């Protein structure tokens, strides 16, 4: 990964809607490799926010740590709380999600690399 070198600081990046529209889910990029797309970000769900009703999957590795609040996986019918962690390989199905009280999460995205044969 070729993310910018940074010492401890207060993140000052803008919060942007996650996805194509603002459905109460926001992201703040903390660091990103423009070449690969790898990123570290904060994600915030407002109280009552939900993803679209479809199951989610994507082409990258995703690691998520819930920092505060609660996130419910509607597909599993389970709520997850602060301190819980998920590691999802490319193609893993998850969600859809809803957060009654709201939540904040630390998210790491890493695109799969092709290895030499």
- Nearest to residue 74, comparing CAs of 97, 48, 46, 106? 97
Dist CA 41 CA 86 (whole Å): 15
Indicate the pTM of the whole model.
0.89
> Residue 104: CB partners within 8 Å, gap ≥ 6?
42, 43, 44, 45, 66, 67, 68, 69
DSSP 62-83: EEEEEEEEEEEETTTTEEEETT
Q: In the prediction, which pLDDT does 90 show?
A: 96
* Residue 53: Cβ-neighbour burial (10 angstroms; 0-12, 13-18, 19+): exposed
8-56: pLDDT as tens digits: 888 888 999 997 677 899 999 999 999 999 999 999 999 999 999 999 9
In the chain, where the domains are located: 36-96
Is pLDDT of 89 > 90?
A: yes
Across residues 45-74, what is the average pLDDT? 96
CB distance 96 to 56 below 8 Å: yes
């Amino acid at each position: 990964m070729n993310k910018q070198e940074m010492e401890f600081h207060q993140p000052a990046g803008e919060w942007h809607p996650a996805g194509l529209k603002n459905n109460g889910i926001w992201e703040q990029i903390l660091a990103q490799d423009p070449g690969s797309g790898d990123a570290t970000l904060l994600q915030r769900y407002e109280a009552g926010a939900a993803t679209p009703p479809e199951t989610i999957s994507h082409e990258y590795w995703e690691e998520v740590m819930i920092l505060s609040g609660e996130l419910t996986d509607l597909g599993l019918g389970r709520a997850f709380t602060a301190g819980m962690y998920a590691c999802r390989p490319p193609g893993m199905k998850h969600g859809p999600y809803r957060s009654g009280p709201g939540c904040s999460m630390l998210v790491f995205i890493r695109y799969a690399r092709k290895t030499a044969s």
